């Protein structure tokens, strides 16, 4: 699919949902070009991998091995970490948000103190 098209992400999402029809939401979850396969046992996981790989092949898609993470216990997905014991926050994302909020608060307090100094000076000049 050519890039630069306004609806390319939505179109590709629908394409992936069609390719995974019947197994989507059961053991496969798709978000754009991310495919998450969740299984209870190793044997099921092998079967699930085969089913997903077959659908990818039938759809005419190819996987880039360097972008694939297979048989992982903890996976970063959409700002969270999926682990055997449940969903966790990705601390890197939390830290980034805290740092961003601190910077925003500092910059807005500097801006308001600068504007009050300007307003204060202009009111003195008008008297």
Contact at 8 Å (CB) between 52 and 23?
yes
Q: What's the whole-model pTM score?
A: 0.63
Residues 38-52, mean pLDDT to the nearest whole number: 93
Distance (Å) of CA 60 to CA 5, 19, 103: 20, 10, 46
1 close to 12: Cβ distance less than 8 angstroms: yes
Mean pLDDT of 57-61: 93
Residue 20: pLDDT band with limits 50, 70, 90: very high
Number of neighbouring beta carbons within 10 Å of residue 30: 18
- CA gap 112, 30 in Å, rounded: 44
Token digits of residue 16: 């992936």
- Per residue in 66-78, pLDDT tens? 988 888 888 888 7
């Amino acid at each position: 699919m050519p890039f630069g098209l306004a609806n390319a992400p939505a179109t590709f999402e629908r394409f992936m949902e069609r390719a995974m029809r019947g197994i989507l939401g059961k053991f496969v979850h798709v978000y754009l070009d991310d495919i998450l396969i969740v299984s209870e046992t190793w044997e099921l996981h092998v079967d699930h991998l085969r089913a997903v790989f077959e659908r990818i092949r039938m759809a005419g898609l190819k996987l880039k091995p360097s972008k694939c993470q297979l048989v992982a216990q903890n996976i970063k997905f959409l700002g969270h970490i999926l682990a055997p014991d449940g969903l966790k926050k990705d601390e890197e994302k939390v830290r980034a948000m805290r740092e961003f909020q601190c910077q925003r608060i500092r910059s807005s307090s500097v801006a308001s103190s600068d504007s009050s100094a300007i307003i204060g000076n202009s009111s003195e000049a008008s008297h």
